[in-house]
Structure 1
């Protein structure tokens, strides 16, 4: 059952809730048309690009991308030089982009809830494992690089 507790599953669940709100409970609300479609597309596309860049960087350093596994190396280069959690940031961008594209105005509160879930389920435990394994190197990295942006 642990395989189901991964960020893409959480993202899919939150996206499904946003889609359901837009489809079954729109209440006549919308973001205003073309600009929301454009911004949503940019966010979804940008999020996918960030995920690919992070995956390439992790592969280059020969460490795991699987959240519940211990990392072999601390990756601090590439997109990880800008954010300690670029993939989770990208997941949030994708969710926000989908909410905009679908005109799911009432689903906007899902975004901070998603970030909270991801932080509690994945970010904090991962950072605790990295801190225990890489000690002062992780501490220095955490001081230099923000958790999200």
Structure 2
């Protein structure tokens, strides 16, 4: 186990979890496809999916730019050198994970791959358990009261 004051994890869980969930969902859709509505509903879901996926990509990019602007790492298995509280971090303590969830779920709606929607939620839950909870302890050790104040006013996800 890594020293939490130095690094939250030795494994970069979030990208592995979201990629793994996506691959599993694509395999499940091939083996046990879930039903998908046709007609006008399919078009509405596809448009909503494109919007969600685009929002996820935009949020991921904005978050990566915030990491770069503050000269700290975007890698989830590296120790934070700065606490970012502006940009997308004003609305969520984990905007890149929100973006990843929106991207995967949105792709499911856009392409009619129903398994991607529960896969996105499962990846988000697993990310919370394997990464976020350790990241939050790491940030508390690194930034103390500054972290506590930020965490009290900013939701983990969006709500």
TM-score for both structures, normalised by structure 1: 0.89
Q: Give the alignment partner of residue 51 of structure 1, picking from 55, 60, 73.
A: 60
Partner SS state of residue 33, structure 1: helix
Matched residue pairs, number? 146
In the alignment, the residues of structure 1 paired with residue 130 and residue 82 of structure 2 have an alpha-carbon distance, to the nearest angstrom, of: 21
1:25 shift after superposition: 2.1
Partner SS state of residue 128, structure 2: helix
| Aligned 8 A contact 1:37 1:100 in 2 | yes
Q: Give the alignment partner of residue 36 of structure 2, picking from 26, 30, 33.
A: 30
Show structure 1 runs of 5+ residues with no match: none
1:107 shift after superposition: 5.0
Partner SS state of residue 109, structure 1: helix
Q: Relative to 1, partners in 2 of residues 1:115 and 1:95: Cα closer, same or farther, differing over 3 Å?
A: same
Partner SS state of residue 105, structure 1: coil
1:12 shift after superposition: 1.6
Q: Deviations over 1:35-68 (max 9, x none)?
A: 1111111111111110110111111111110111
In the alignment, the residues of structure 2 paired with residue 126 and residue 83 of structure 1 have an alpha-carbon distance, to the nearest angstrom, of: 14
Q: Relative to 1, partners in 2 of residues 1:49 and 1:106: Cα closer, same or farther, differing over 3 Å?
A: closer
RMSD of the alignment, in Å?
A: 1.7
1:112 shift after superposition: 2.8
Show structure 2 runs of 5+ residues with no match: 1-9
> After the TM superposition, which residues 112-123 of structure 1 pair with which residues of structure 2 at under 5 Å, given as runs?
112-123=121-132
